[in-house]
């Protein structure tokens, strides 16, 4: 993603996983594109760009089978998706596609660990991060325009804050396993 704020939204949007650390995976797509076949690197250079658009990518290959055979080694291309709807525009992200349709990006990343890093979002900071994102208007209502985005925003805002590992202790008193957290 271009926006670290949008990435943080996706790391903090699932209420059922607030007791778990989140993660943001950062890919250096500029350096990843240095591993592209020469024909694709030349296309980027001719445009003075670091990412592909669909029209630019189609200059390198007009069919998927052509794309899959552009280079000897497997590669990944990051491209700006066409602005087909408000979600794509508002999320301001890149799409990625592998040259080998039978492999996934995780496998490629293991071969190229110098091109990515993982940022861990500690569970205990998720509510604070979420509050700051809300203040910056990085919300479901903006990222998912329409009824489903509004419903997701309402659910998150009007649900009780999640308390993990609640149990009933001796004498029927409720407690929290591990650290105690206040539920607002």
Do both 37 and 109 map to the same domain? yes
184 part of a folded domain: no
Do both 130 and 98 map to the same domain? no
Do both 85 and 57 map to the same domain? yes
108 part of a folded domain: yes
3-state SS assignment for residue 49: coil
Quick one: which H or E segment has residue 27?
Answer: strand 22-27
91 contacts: CB under 8 Å, gap ≥ 6: 1, 3, 6, 143
178 part of a folded domain: no
Q: What integer pLDDT is reported at residue 163 of this predicted model?
A: 53
Do both 158 and 137 map to the same domain? yes
Do both 39 and 77 map to the same domain? yes
127 part of a folded domain: yes
Do both 100 and 141 map to the same domain? no
DSSP 8-state secondary structure symbol assigned to residue 62:
S
pLDDT in tens, 14-62: 989 999 999 999 999 999 999 999 999 999 999 999 999 999 999 998 8
Q: What integer pLDDT is reported at residue 100 of this predicted model?
A: 86
Number of domains in the chain: 2
Q: What integer pLDDT is reported at residue 89 of this predicted model?
A: 78
Do both 43 and 93 map to the same domain? yes
154 part of a folded domain: yes
Q: What integer pLDDT is reported at residue 101 of this predicted model?
A: 85
Q: What integer pLDDT is reported at residue 182 of this predicted model?
A: 29
Which parts of the chain fold into alpha helices (H)? 4-12, 29-33, 38-47, 54-60, 64-68, 86-91, 105-111, 126-135, 140-143, 147-158
The ranges of the chain with pLDDT < 50 are 1, 165-184
Query: For residues 68 and 74, what is the distance between their CA atoms, to the nearest angstrom?
Result: 9
Domain containing residue 16: 1-21+122-164
């Amino acid at each position: 993603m271009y926006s670290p704020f949008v990435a943080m939204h996706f790391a903090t949007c699932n209420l059922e996983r607030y007791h778990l650390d989140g993660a943001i995976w950062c890919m250096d797509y500029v350096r990843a594109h240095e591993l592209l076949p020469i024909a694709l690197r030349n296309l980027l250079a001719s445009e003075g760009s670091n990412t592909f658009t669909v029209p630019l990518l189609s200059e390198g290959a007009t069919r998927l089978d052509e794309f899959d055979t552009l280079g000897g080694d497997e590669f990944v291309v990051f491209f700006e998706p066409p602005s087909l709807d408000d979600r794509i525009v508002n999320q301001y992200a890149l799409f990625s596609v592998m040259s080998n349709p039978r492999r996934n990006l995780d496998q490629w990343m293991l071969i190229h660990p110098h091109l990515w890093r993982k940022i861990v979002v500690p569970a205990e900071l998720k509510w604070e991060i979420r509050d700051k994102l809300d203040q910056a208007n990085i919300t479901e209502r903006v990222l998912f325009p329409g009824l489903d985005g509004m419903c997701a925003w309402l659910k998150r805002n009007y649900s009780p804050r999640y308390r993990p590992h609640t149990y009933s202790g001796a004498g029927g008193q409720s407690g929290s396993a591990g650290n105690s957290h206040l539920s607002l």
